[in-house]
Chains A and B, each alone.
Chain A
Amino acid sequence: MDEKVLLQVENLRKYFPVKGVKGPGVQAVENVSFEIKKGETLGLVGESGCGKTTLGRTILRLHEPTSGRIIYDGKVIFDSGDNQVFDKNGKPLSKKSKKVAVDMLPYRRKMQIIFQDPSASLDPRMTVGEIIGEAIDIHKLASTKTERAAMIKSLLSSVGLNTEHANRFPHEFSGGQQQRVGIARALAVKPEFIVCDEPISALDVSIQSQIVNMLEDMQNDLGLTYLFIAHDLSVVRHISNRIGVMYLGSLVELGESYELNKHPIHPYTKTLLSAVPVPDPDISRARKRIVLEGDIPSPMNPPTGCRFHTRCPYAKPECKESAPILKEYDKGHWAACHLLG
């Protein structure tokens, strides 16, 4: 891993308008900023509905961002044009940036995605060879038919499948094998950056570790950069260099994965960590668990101020009023919470 930043996300927002409802609609991603270094794995965790999948897709511009800026490998691939830094009195400190929305086709070769449900993300009427070949065709990566066939074969064997499997249809494979096809398809264009959107949560326990190890090997061999989205903290911690914790569309904590697990500072991260079951009866029965009351609020009508204040056991009056900003508390360890001062 070198220090070069591959992907930079600034103040990204994604709202989904809702018919017949006034206001911005579903505020799925709210003001998220982070960067990913080349060769790094950034994990994203959070409960369902916290916007982690939307964030991953918005970065790839599978959803068009509502506002914010995305910079990939030094080039701006999206800028909504209203990014401006203001001082305390509301006077603009910087010029309004220009609106940018580049054609994504050349970037699709560099940025890929692996989906959660392998059976739903493979076309049932295409053979595995056609599914992988389609990516090669779109980007014109093979000049002859034999070259194309050879590429498909080598991709299949690189993900641990038989080369004869190219003529089979997705339904002839098990879930784990289907996920391998999904990974081979993403790798077909030789990408640099892959969004792994819950790639293992639909798989059996004994298969999950096979896929995790394969993703790790590929990262080492091909120098890939991952954004790894999952709700299972133990897997995310295992595979990631750094972890971002999301709650209701906002990033509440960001830090080195082992540091974040040992010394979580945001109350939400603490509860999330204490809720993960440990496969060890003595430890899991002895430890104190913080059980959150209630459910995650609706992103259509998020709470004012800190979005976590309705469930936070330590909430103060000021948490209701203003949204906390993500601040660095320790080297590389960021959190957004008023309690930390």
Chain B
Amino acid sequence: MKNANDKKLLEVKDLKVSFFTPAGEVKAVGGITYDLDYGEVMGIVGESGSGKSVEAYSIMGLLQSPGKVVGGSIMFEGENVLNYDKNKMNDFRGKKVAMIFQNPMTCLNPVYTVGNQLTEALRAHHKDISAADAKKKAMEMLELVGINNVEKRMTQYPHEFSGGMRQRVMIAMGLICSPKLLIADEPTTALDVTIQAQILELMKDLQKKTGMGIIFITHNLGVVAEICDKVSVMYAGRIVEQGLVSDIFYNPSHPYTVGLLQSMPRVDAEEYERLIPIEGTPVDMLNPPEGCPFAPRCSQCMQICLKKLPPYVEIEDGHKSACWLRVQENMKCKEEQANG
């Protein structure tokens, strides 16, 4: 499903976001690059504070002071979103890109009915639509996300919905203007596993129907394995490893990715195995270490890791990793080739 002029849906290049706090500059996102095509689902995995939500907020233009984009570009269908003025941004947000959040209760307005909020989202972008048409469209959307008894549900308030149902309403609201990109920021983290399963099935289904691209932000590797085509693993504001879902799970090349996979107990494990945790604590973003941010916690840390940031190494087509170990391997490989 390529665009006519063969432009990618989203291309993020060397995006840098900083927060200017009284205690100093916090480089929440320190130069990340990725792209996403139509119909693709990309997972962004990382711990809290790794910059995964900040990155998504900057695409939506939702960064709040003291946060600021300090470098890089966000190209959406060939246009740099960062150059949009306020009007253009308002048009872009909601109509072309929609976002759903972790906690649906705090994102829905408790004093308006669900129907009211759904039609509001639609009428904000289609000024000429009639009230009756808007209502009809809103009801269609609710049905699409698997809510029964739509007529009655439209007149109800968010507190009358359960957590899973509220997340469905959020999804309906996000998709009502048929966006090309959906950013889902931990959409299932606040939900129970059985409800999470329902929402994941729904998102997969809707993605197939609409062909939109999805950025799926989560810390749960199990969810990533389930729904994503590509994965970016973030640590301390940088993407440390990026690749297809099979690359990341079956051939992880960054010690942080390996550590994450080893430290998770698996529900399908045959017998008890002691977990191998990643030692230490996440990086203090106010005083990030020199060199590779993961070095202080890395079991294979070398001298160079403490001094210089590792560059990206292409391991296979589309699979890259930022680790000095891989850089060294790569150099050895080249030497061997040169020597015959």
Contact = CB atoms under 8 A, between A and B. Distances in A.
Contacts of A213: 274-275, 277
B194 to A, nearest CB: 5
Interface stretch (B67-75, B121-129, B215-223): B215-223
B277 A295 contact: no
Interface in B273-297: 274-279, 281-282, 297
Given A234-B265, A281-B246, A295-B195, A209 B278 contact: yes
A234 B272 CA distance: 11
Given A47-B194, A276-B193, A276-B222, A174 B282 contact: yes
Interface stretch (B132-140, B172-180, B255-263, B301-309): B255-263
B159 interface: no
A233 B281 CA distance: 25
A233 B267 contact: yes
Interface in B198-230: 198, 200-201, 219-226
B21 interface: no
Contacts of B38: none
Contacts of A278: 222, 225-226, 266-268
B165 A207 contact: no
Nearest to A50: B192
A284 B281 contact: no
B264 interface: yes
B196 A205 contact: no
Given A231-B192, A233-B193, A291-B198, A277 B226 contact: yes
Interface string A224-251: 0000000111110110000000000000
Contacts of A5: none
A283 B193 contact: no
Given A204-B47, A258-B271, A292 B222 contact: no
Interface in B23-66: 47-48
A72 to B, nearest CB: 28
Contacts of A272: 193-194
Contacts of A237: 265, 267, 269
Interface string B157-174: 000001011000000000
Contacts of A174: 281-282
Contacts of A3: none
B265 A238 contact: yes
B42 to A, nearest CB: 14
B197 interface: yes
A248 to B, nearest CB: 13
B219 A284 contact: no
A208 to B, nearest CB: 7
Interface in B51-103: none
A48 interface: yes
A291 B47 contact: no
Contacts of A58: none
A271 B195 CA distance: 11
Contact of B225 (A48, A205, A284, A296): A284
A172 to B, nearest CB: 12
Of B47, B259, B268, the most chain A CB neighbours within 10 A belong to B268
B195 A279 contact: no
A181 to B, nearest CB: 14
Of B196, B223, B264, B267, the most chain A CB neighbours within 10 A belong to B267
A271 to B, nearest CB: 6
A166 B158 CA distance: 45
Contacts of A206: 47, 259-260, 263, 277-278, 282, 297
B114 interface: no
B259 A291 contact: no
Sort chain A's interface into a size bin.
35 or more
B113 to A, nearest CB: 20
A209 B222 contact: no
A274 B162 CA distance: 22
A216 B274 contact: yes
Contact of B277 (A177, A209, A235, A292): A209
Contacts of A177: 281
Interface string A245-279: 00000000000001001000000000111111111
A277 B225 contact: yes
B225 A279 contact: yes
A276 B265 CA distance: 12
B249 interface: yes
A209 B165 CA distance: 32
A6 interface: no
B198 A273 contact: no
A237 B275 CA distance: 13
Contacts of A282: 246
Contact of A210 (B192, B197, B271, B279): B279
B225 A231 contact: no
Contacts of B277: 206-207, 209-210, 212-213
A261 B267 contact: yes
A218 to B, nearest CB: 14
A117 to B, nearest CB: 14
Contacts of A280: 225, 249, 266, 268
Contacts of B297: 206
A291 B274 contact: no
Contacts of A271: 194
19 contacts: A204-B48, A205-B47, A206-B278, A206-B282, A206-B297, A207-B277, A213-B274, A237-B269, A275-B194, A275-B196, A279-B249, A280-B266, A280-B268, A282-B246, A283-B268, A285-B226, A291-B197, A292-B194, A295-B162
Given A238-B265, A279-B264, A279-B266, 18 more contacts: A47-B194, A47-B195, A205-B47, A205-B263, A206-B297, A207-B282, A209-B263, A213-B275, A237-B269, A275-B197, A276-B193, A277-B225, A278-B222, A279-B249, A281-B245, A283-B268, A291-B194, A292-B194
